[in-house]
Amino acid sequence: MRVIYALWLRNFKTFLRNKTALIFNLISPFFFVYIFAGIFKHEGIGNASAFMLSGVIITMVFESTMRISASTIDDMTGGFMKEVLVSPISRLNIAIAQFISSATVATIQGLIIYVLGLFTGLSLSPSALLLTIPVMIFVGLVFSGLGLFIATKAKNIQTFQAVSLAVTMPLVFLSGAYIPLSLLPNAMQWFAYFNPLSYAVILFRAVTLGKLNSSGAELVHESIAFKIGSFTVTPIIAFGVLAVFGILFLFLSTISFLKVDFSKMNRNKKDLIDF
């Protein structure tokens, strides 16, 4: 526990100390709120700004977990991970600390947008905030697994950035976070069904907009939930699907992290011989 806490605190401090990144990470979400909220004003969505904002927040949570995984790669190649790995602590503890700090940072970034959103005249229900935080932590945990998995497979920062961009963009745009899935072509909608982020968006939007108790038909009508065939994915079902994805990601990334050979990280053949 002491080890997990220390590593968590370290990752959290690293995040807080990088103030430039902290501020710049908040710029693009607002860009999306204002542009897209303007576009969808006339598309039959009740409160376009709130609808958009909830999508932007959960996307932010998702993207932060990816960014934090990039810093994990930084540690792996930058040497600090070597210090961690020659110490007697178990790799499992390191992985757990990565997941928890990832989820913490992601939640905080999501919360900042949430709170800023309240000040900019958007009407998200502040009373929903209590339920919002656990959902953000949950979503953060799910995707921290995906992030760590990609990080351990990519092995260097360039590959990671390329892969994470290739994964992040389609996942975000085909999740309903910015563009309601009903506006997408059929083939793309099918992709969205396999996209874990789609379920995170349903769950989070229903919570922030206070629609947890609404009927399935109502949610589909408001573009909050979607139907697969005649089957409606309600927020509760979305939670279940996301949990399955989460267990899968955490499991795969833990296995991959336990097995990865850090001595091969970001090294070329010449370096290897020089060992």
Partner 1 sequence: MAEMARKIIEVENFTKKYGKFTAVNDINFSVDEGMIFAFLGPNGAGKSTTINTLCTIFDSTAGSLKIDGKCVSSNKSEVRASIGVVFQDSTLDNKMTVEENLKMHCVFYGVPKTEVDNRIDFVLDLVELKDWKKKTVGSLSGGMKRRIEIARGIIHYPKVLFLDEPTTGLDPQTRATVWTYIVKLAREKNITIFLTTHYMDEAEVCDMVAIMDYGKIIAHDSPFNLKKQFTKDRAYITAKNCERLESLLESKSVGFQKKEKYYRIDIGEVSDTLNILSELKEDITDIEIRKGTLNDVFLEITGREIREGAEE
Distance CA 120, CA 245 (A): 34
Burial of residue 207 (CB within 10 Å: 0-12, 13-18, 19+) is buried
Question: Does the protein bind partner 1 through residue 159 (CB under 8 A)?
Answer: no
Q: Does 19 bind partner 1 (CB under 8 A)?
A: no
Closest distance between partner 1 and the C-beta of residue 62, in Å? Answer: 24
Q: Choose between 48 and 84: whose C-beta lies nearer to partner 1.
A: 84
Report, in Å, the least distance between residue 18 CB and partner 1: 8
CB nearer to partner 1: pick between 96 and 252: 96
**Pick 80 or 251: Cβ nearer partner 1:** 80
Q: How far apart are CA 121 and CA 140, in angstroms?
A: 26
Site for partner 1 in 71-110 (CB under 8 A): 78-80, 82-90
Closest approach, Cβ 32 to partner 1, in A, equals 30
Helix axes 27-39, 48-78, angle to 10 degrees: 150
| Pick 17 or 42: Cβ nearer partner 1 | 17
Binding site for partner 1 (CB under 8 A): 2-3, 6-7, 10, 13-14, 17-18, 78-80, 82-90, 262-263, 272-275
